[in-house]
Structure 1
Amino acid sequence: MIEHIELFFKSIFIDNMVFAVFLGMCSYLAVSKKVATAVGLGAAVIFVLAITVPLNWLLDQYLLQPGALKWLGAEYADYDLSFLSFIMFIATIATMVQLVEIVVEKFSPSLYNSLGIFLPLIAVNCAILGGSLFMQAREIETLGLALNYGVSSGIGWFLAILAIAAIREKIRYSNVPAPLRGLGITFIITGLMGIGFLSFGGMLTGGDEEEAPKEGEPTSQVETIETETETVVELANNTKIIE
């Protein structure tokens, strides 16, 4: 349970897709002019990551890793299909994005028109593929953790685009210097937000594990004080004997 909570908060705040590794910046900059549009795209990204990361975890565990085909029989245990990782991951992502596009067009035509070309472009959004590749690099052990990582990574991207969209709506009425209007001030604000998210770097890192005391060493602060006191008394006695 603690592992799930730690992964959830780290993926949102510390390893944020936008502010930590700068993935998905094209959609982040292009679709963040209005909050309503940003919310729609952010929700679509959460859905796609929540589906594709667990699916790609299953593909990685039972098809792509070296020896993953041993469930088919001993003669397949030496097969290594890891070179197909990119192709399989992208195929899964493209399928899910197509499904999202169909659903959005059916139930929210206005949002579909607002997102325009950027909805099908989720298929080539590096944040989506990055979620599956980071899952593979982290060597996530269970399907539950893979689902957790997909959802939390999507929420992190959603918070990033929602925050910048809210700020961009406000700065329209601000006196921004002419050379910085548009993407210029957006990049500056993104950098400042990235620095702010770096402040979460100390969260959930845990403390240093206490080393087991060696034989003959004190095991507590009280014993340390007692040992030091005995040493001082012994030195004093030896000094008197010498005198």
Structure 2
Amino acid sequence: MVEKELFAIFMDGVFIKNFILIQFLGLCPFMGVTKDVKSAAGISAAVIFVMTLASFVTYLVYTYVLVPTGMEFLDVISFIVVIASLVQLVEFVVRKNIPSLYRSLGIYLPLITTNCAVLGVVLLSVNSTYNFAQTVVFGASAGIGFMIVMLLMSAIRERSAILNVPSAIKGLPLGFFIATLLSLAFVNYFWVIPI
């Protein structure tokens, strides 16, 4: 029973409540970093790490610090501090170990701090009253859903760069058109699957 419940939460995070295509959170890196697959994969790995670890840490902070002291109203502020700290850690590791990826991501790596998808996953976990395992599974699955969409979008955008696309819709307009089609596919397919 527990495994089935965790699987349902996993599918919920990856497909049904996909943060980019269903909830429209995290659109800045979605449109800015998906010009090539390598950058999209790099930012996706960073987001998966931050979402999973932020879910882990914020659950502990909320459950064992904020709730016992009656300061639940500080949840957003404390979550932002946790997320910003984790992003600084990721930025340091990427800059030190993979400088080419650090240069290709540019401003989008530190912008994970303000990525509303990361804050959204921890707030939804708290509002859904998930236990510890459910919170971590939801955080990881939301990151995986983010990665799937980022890689799909970057592959389509790379392919469309070599096609004969009218100049009036090249770039951002084409990106939004592709995002619309992907969103329609996710909504129409994954909302009808019973879990």
Contact conserved, 1:10 with 1:204, CA < 8 A, in 2?
no
| Aligned counterpart, 1:143 | 132
What runs of 5+ residues in structure 1 fail to find an aligned partner?
Answer: 70-78, 206-243
Indicate whether 1:188 and 2:177 are aligned. Answer: yes
Kindly report which structure 2 residues correspond to 1:109-188, keeping only aligned pairs within 5 A, or say none.
109-140=99-130, 142-188=131-177
3-state secondary structure, aligned to 1:21: coil
Kindly report which structure 2 residues correspond to 1:42-121, keeping only aligned pairs within 5 A, or say none.
42-64=44-66, 68-69=67-68, 79-121=69-111
Partner amino acid, structure 1, of 2:105? L
Identity %: 40
Distance in 2 between residues matched to 1:61 and 1:108, nearest whole Å? 35
Cα distance, 1:60 vs structure 2 = 1.6
Partner amino acid, structure 1, of 2:146? W
> Given the two structures, how large is their TM-score scaled by the length of structure 2?
0.95
Cα distance, 1:204 vs structure 2 = 3.1
Partner amino acid, structure 2, of 1:37? S
Distance in 1 between residues matched to 2:142 and 2:148, nearest whole Å? 10
Distance in 1 between residues matched to 2:112 and 2:52, nearest whole Å? 14
Partner amino acid, structure 1, of 2:92? I
Distance in 2 between residues matched to 1:108 and 1:173, nearest whole Å? 28
| Structure ranking higher on relative contact order (CA contacts 8 Å, 6+ apart) | 2
Partner amino acid, structure 2, of 1:166? A
Cα distance, 1:177 vs structure 2 = 2.1
3-state secondary structure, aligned to 2:34: coil
What runs of 5+ residues in structure 2 fail to find an aligned partner?
Answer: none
Cα distance, 1:186 vs structure 2 = 0.7
| Aligned counterpart, 1:27 | 29
Cα distance, 1:154 vs structure 2 = 0.2
Partner amino acid, structure 1, of 2:178? I
Distance in 2 between residues matched to 1:86 and 1:138, nearest whole Å? 15
Cα distance, 1:2 vs structure 2 = 0.4
Contact conserved, 1:6 with 1:204, CA < 8 A, in 2?
no
Partner amino acid, structure 2, of 1:38? A
| Aligned counterpart, 1:230 | none
CA RMSD across the alignment: 1.0
- Larger relative helix fraction: 2
What are the superposed Cα offsets for residues 161-208 of structure 1, whole Å, 9 maximum, x if unpaired? 111000000001112222211110110110110010111112234xxx
Partner amino acid, structure 2, of 1:114? S
Q: Please, which of 187, 200, 203 is the counterpart of residue 193 of structure 2?
A: 203
Whose radius of gyration is greater, 1 or 2? 1
